[in-house]
């Protein structure tokens, strides 16, 4: 799997000729590594949403109106469909959506969720994504919580974790997640986009040294590759 960090909590995943976008906050994102016009040319197979806040919902409707499936909670799917998305798919916590590109399973996240216009966005979620033999967990916006151990029982290859503090956990809490999640690789996100997000990836690196996890810090626009787990 190729993983490209697009800034904030937005990522582009690529494997087997398929591309999937997560939380496509591009327009209005001072750290965005691509414009929405560029991203619309990537032939994306799906847009996966963790929750409805504007810094995650972002440009989802631009893709939805162009025919790209938007996959999220029932509330996100319904809102997208009512606002012009052609192939919106609503699911919920514990459910799995399967497609040609792979699958996504929705997990709990401790946060809130509403669209920029104030419409209720359903429960916030994390996303466990299977693609090209790699199992990736995008935690969405959340704090540390003990049931992350159950998510870790899925044998994660990658964990994308918010570290910015204030609206989510900070780097110290995020590092503690590594004990529960037990991924092979961890990548920090949701930091430095705005001044209030003060979490420092160097603190995450330092605090995370206690666990047998490779931490990769990506600048917006940078990518990294993760091989499938042996026998996976």
Q: What is the CATH number of the domain that holds 73?
A: 3.60.15.10
CB 21 within 8 A of CB 36: no
**Would residue 223 count as lying in a domain?**
no
* Domain tally, the chain: 1
The pLDDT value given to residue 54: 98
Kindly report the pTM of this predicted structure: 0.98
Residue 193 sits in which domain range? Answer: 2-218
Q: Is residue 224 part of a domain?
A: no
Report if residue 16 sits inside a domain: yes
pLDDT of 231: 64
Give the tokens for residue 43.
Answer: 């032939």
Residue 229 has what pLDDT?
Answer: 81
Residue 229 lies in a domain: no
- Identify whether 8 is part of a domain: yes
Q: What is the Cα–Cα distance from 4 to 186, expressed in whole angstroms?
A: 13
Residue ranges of the chain with per-residue pLDDT less than 70: 231-232
pLDDT at 230: 75
Identify whether 230 is part of a domain.
no
Quick one: pLDDT at residue 131? 98
Q: Answer whether residue 158 is part of any domain.
A: yes
Contacts of 91 (CB under 8 A, 6+ apart): 71, 72, 73, 74, 77, 97, 106
Q: What is the DSSP string of the chain?
A: -EEEEEETTEEEEEETTEEEEES---TT-TT-SS-HHHHTTS--SEEE-S--SHHHHTTHHHHHHTTPPEEEEHHHHHHHHHTT-SS-EEE-TT-EEEETTEEEEEEE-SS--B-TTS-B----EEEEEEETTEEEEE--S----TTHHHHHTTT-SEEEEE---SSS--HHHHHHHHHHH--SEEEEES-SSSTT----HHHHHHHGGGSS-EE----TT-EEE-PPPTT-
For 14-24, write each residue's pLDDT tens digit.
Answer: 999 999 999 99
Q: Residue 115: which of 162, 67, 79 has the closest Cα?
A: 79
**pLDDT of 221:** 98
By the 8 A CB rule, do 192 and 168 touch?
no
Asked if the structure places residue 173 within a domain, the reply is: yes
Question: Among 215, 214, 171, 213, which residue's Cα sits nearest to residue 192?
Answer: 171
């Amino acid at each position: 799997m190729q993983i490209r960090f697009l800034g904030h909590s937005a990522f582009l995943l690529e494997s087997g000729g398929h591309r999937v976008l997560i939380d496509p906050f591009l327009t209005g994102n001072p750290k965005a590594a691509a414009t929405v016009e560029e991203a619309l040319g990537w032939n994306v197979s799906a847009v996966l949403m963790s929750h409805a806040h504007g810094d995650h919902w972002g440009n989802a409707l631009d893709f939805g109106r162009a025919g790209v499936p938007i996959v999220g909670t029932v509330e996100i799917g319904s809102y997208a469909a009512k606002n012009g998305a052609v192939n919106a798919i609503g699911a919920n916590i514990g459910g799995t959506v399967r497609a040609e590109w792979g699958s996504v399973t929705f997990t709990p996240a401790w946060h809130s969720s509403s669209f920029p216009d104030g419409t209720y966005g359903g429960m916030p979620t994390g996303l466990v994504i299977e693609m090209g033999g790699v199992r990736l967990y995008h935690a969405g916006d959340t704090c540390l919580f003990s049931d992350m151990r159950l998510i870790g029982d899925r044998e994660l290859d990658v964990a994308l974790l918010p570290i910015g503090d204030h609206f989510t956990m900070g780097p110290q809490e995020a590092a503690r997640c590594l004990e529960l999640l037990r991924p092979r690789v961890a990548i920090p996100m949701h930091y430095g986009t705005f001044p209030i997000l003060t979490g420092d990836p160097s603190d995450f690196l330092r605090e995370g040294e206690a666990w047998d996890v490779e931490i990769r810090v990506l600048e917006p626009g940078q990518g990294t590759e993760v091989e499938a787990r042996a026998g996976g």
